[in-house]
Structure 1
Amino acid sequence: MTRVYLIRHAEAEGNLYRRVHGWYNSLITDNGYRQIAALRGRFADVPIDAVYSSDLFRTKTTAGAIYLTHGLELRTLPELREIGVGEWEDRTWGELERTDAVRLIRFNHSAPDFQVRGGETFDQVQQRMKRAVLSLAAAHPGQTIALFSHGTAIRCLQGAVRGLGPGEMDELGHSDNTAVTCLEVEGEYIRIVFENDNSHLPEEISTLARQKWWKQEGGRSADANLWFRPLDLESQAELYSAARHDAWVDICGPDVPFDRDGFLKDAMRCWKQDPGKAICCAMRGDEIAGVLQLDLERDRDEGAGYIPFLYILPQFRRQGLGVQLIGQAVSTFRPLGRTTLRLCCAPDNGRAQRFYQRYGFRKNGQMPGSRQPLDRLEKYIGYEPKEP
């Protein structure tokens, strides 16, 4: 008999930014590294003979909680990957709710007929996960192994072990990031000892504790998921200016002159770089919730993607939406080869400073500002792994 610990990766960008990441190679969040530390403590005294993970960054990094502390080699296996979602990869859940709602419902219910172009079916995921677990268990008879995989892939295996096919898994639970499922495997027989156990996570670092989609019928629509559309600066200059003015007054007060023309000129320069990407509206349903401006040329030679303006309308603040604008910036700059996000923030803008610090930005110098020096903040978005 082989004992198998099947572990979901720590919180990653898709979980935080509300984007669809199957085979997309996303990074671990700062909170995810705290989850990895908690997982390391859980397994500190548990004998493990071998560690495997999918070949994606988020599982390989999470696996360090065990293989590094136990002096083992990490072996990677593509068969342990998340469900591949083809043309959905790195799109926002909010966009899919708006443009592909029927297939999203099929996805949320693990329907037999779910598939997107270039992606997998749930039946394919069930079969490859079961084959992988049986094969690895057979290679380690009488031993204990740890496998690091992904939420939907783990759920598919749990369904397959119970004899539940696609379309029959609605009653199964959902796995928190770094949650542990324990299996006993003997020949072709798999027994679930326990599943989706996140008891090592304090509530303040649990991903599921702050999300709603898994608690309510209807799936991911229970959370506030944004989508993004280009802002046409030639026809919507007043919308942009109003957002800029509101942000200026919020920071500087109403008595400090606002340079509308200067801001518009800079925005037009950015917009002309790529009208489809440089300036966009963050949409919640049919309402504009925010504005994101990117400068696709500035600091390119330094491998940085510059964000001149990130703004959430007052009525949409304190709802956890701003981080999705950071996700949109990552999604735009990473394919361009940028490894850092960069922006400037007034040192006395406490609310913004706390927001950016919470999501991984750190001060790395100062820049001239119109009324005072500004802090230059940076967030690393490259793939060099950190120690868990």
Structure 2
Amino acid sequence: MTRIYLIRHAEAEGNLYRRVHGWYNSLITDNGYRQIAALKGRFDNIPIDAVYSSDLFRTMTTAKAIYESHALELHTRPDLREIGVGVWEDKPWGELAHRDGQRLRGFNHSSPEFQVEGGETFAQVQKRMLAAMRDIAQRHPDQTVAAFSHGTAIRCLQAAIRGLEPGEMDALGHSDNTGVTCLTVDEHGVCRLIFENDSSHLPEEISTLARQKWWKSRESSLADANLWFRPLNMETEGERYRSARSDAWQDIHGSDLPCDSEAFQQDALRCWVQDPQKAVMAAMLGETFAGVLQMDLERWAEEGIGYIPFVYMAPEYRKKGLGVQLIGQAVSTYRPLGRTRLRLRCAPDNGVAQRFYKKYGFVKVGEVQGAGGVPLDLLEKGIGFEPADESR
């Protein structure tokens, strides 16, 4: 009889930025590393004979909680991956709700008919996860194994062990990041669940699900709201951009220091010309304008830096936990271009923004002079993979 601890990866970019990450390779968040430390403590005194994970960065990194402390080799298997979602990969959840709502409802309810171009069905995930557990057990008879996988893949396996078909999974629970499911597999390949989705090692302050309601309630909450992004046309929507810039300036500097809206708009127009589809984006909540993200795709490109001249949330959406999704859009724009760092500027006395950027991994790397001679901090955040992990 083989015992398998099946563990979901720590909090990753998709969880934080509210984007769809199946086979997309994403980084662990700062909070995710705190979860990994807590997971390590949980397993410090539990004997483990072997460690497996999917071949994605977020699972391989989470697996360090066990294989490094137990002096074991990490074995990677593509069949432990999350459900593949093809053309949905790295799309904001809000965009899918806006453009592909019917299929998103099918995904949310584990419909047997659900599939997107280039992606998998729930039945296919059930089949490969069951086969993976049986193969691992066959390789490690009468041993204890830790295996690291993903939320929907683990849920599919739990359903399969219960004999539930896709479409019958709605009543099953959801695993927190680093949640642990334990199962046994006998010599005949019969799987039995011992316990599921246990996250007792996580203090509430680092739990991902503790700050979200979507998984336990149908009540709406702005903290759970998903934005989507569309190009902001600087030729026809220039006044909207000017208004956002003016509002942001007044909020930071008050009325004593005049805002040169024309100069800001000309700079945005310069960026927009670089790529009208990506450089200046409107953040949307449903059909409502919620913010602006401006990116300069050329500045500092030779240094591998993605520069963000302007991040803006409309007043009614500030301090609601939504702004980080704009950072996620910037990551998803710059990473495919080979950029390994994000860079932006922030007024040193803008306490709200300084705390926001620090919370999400930005650190001060210098000082520059902004418009009107205003001193600004230069902040950066890494978005690249370590070379050793990129090659795996």
TM-score range, shorter chain: over 0.9
What is the aligned length?
A: 387
Q: Are the equivalent residues in 2 in contact too, given 1:213–1:222 (CA < 8 A)? A: no
For 1:347, the equivalent position in structure 2 comes to 348
**Structure-1 residue corresponding to 2:60:** 60
User: For residues 35-69 of structure 1, what are the alpha-carbon distances to aligned partners after superposition, in whole Å with 9 as ceiling and x for unaligned?
Assistant: 00000000011100000000000000000000011
CA separation in 1, counterparts of 2:34 and 2:324? 18
State the partner residue of 2:254.
Answer: 253
Residue 326 of structure 1 aligns to a residue in which SS? helix
- Asked if residue 121 in structure 1 is aligned to residue 114 in structure 2, the reply is no
1:63-111, CA deviations, whole angstroms, 9 ceiling, x for partnerless residues? 0000011100001000000000000000011011111111111101111
* Aligned-partner Cα distance in 2 for 1:240–1:23: 35
Q: For 2:218 and 2:244, how far apart are their aligned partners in 1?
A: 36
- Partner residue, 1:378: 380
Tell me what 1:289 maps to. Answer: 290
1:198-238 deviation line (CA, Å, top 9, x unaligned)? 00000010000111111124999992000001000011111
Q: Distance in 2 between matches of 1:250 and 1:179?
A: 41
State the one-letter code of the partner of 1:225: N
Larger CA deviation: 324-333 vs 210-219: 210-219
Contact 1:61–1:385 (CA under 8 A) maintained in structure 2 = no
Over the matched positions of the two proteins, sequence identity in percent amounts to 69
Counterpart position of 1:44: 44
Q: Residue in 2 aligned with 1:237?
A: 238
Q: Distance in 2 between matches of 1:364 and 1:61?
A: 27
Q: Whole-Å Cα distance in 2 between the matches of residues 359 and 368 of structure 1? A: 24
Q: What secondary structure is seen at the aligned counterpart in 1 of 2:102? A: helix
TM-score for both structures, normalised by structure 2: 0.97
CA distance in 2, matches of 1:220, 1:48: 41
1:337 partnered with 2:357: no
Kept in 2: contact 1:214–1:220 (CA 8 A) = no
Look up the match of 1:29: 29
Query: How do 1:181-260 and structure 2 match up within 5 A?
Result: 181-187=181-187, 188-217=189-218, 223-260=224-261
Q: Which amino acid aligns with 1:315?
A: E
In structure 1, the residue matched to 2:92 is 92
SS at match of 2:309: strand
The 1:371–1:221 alpha-carbon spacing in structure 2 relative to 1, beyond 3 Å, is closer
Structure 1 unmatched ranges of 5 or more:
none
Report deviation, 1:372. Answer: 3.2
TM-score of the superposed pair, with normalisation by structure 1: 0.98
Amino acid at match of 1:173: G
Aligned partner of 2:277 in structure 1 is 276
Residue 170 of structure 1 deviates from its aligned partner by 0.7
| Alpha carbons of structure 1 residues 322 and 221: separation in structure 2 relative to 1, 3 Å | closer
Q: What SS does structure 1 have at the residue aligned with 2:373?
A: coil
CA RMSD after TM alignment? 1.6
Kept in 1: contact 2:362–2:380 (CA 8 A): yes
Matches of 2:113 and 2:222, distance apart in 1: 21
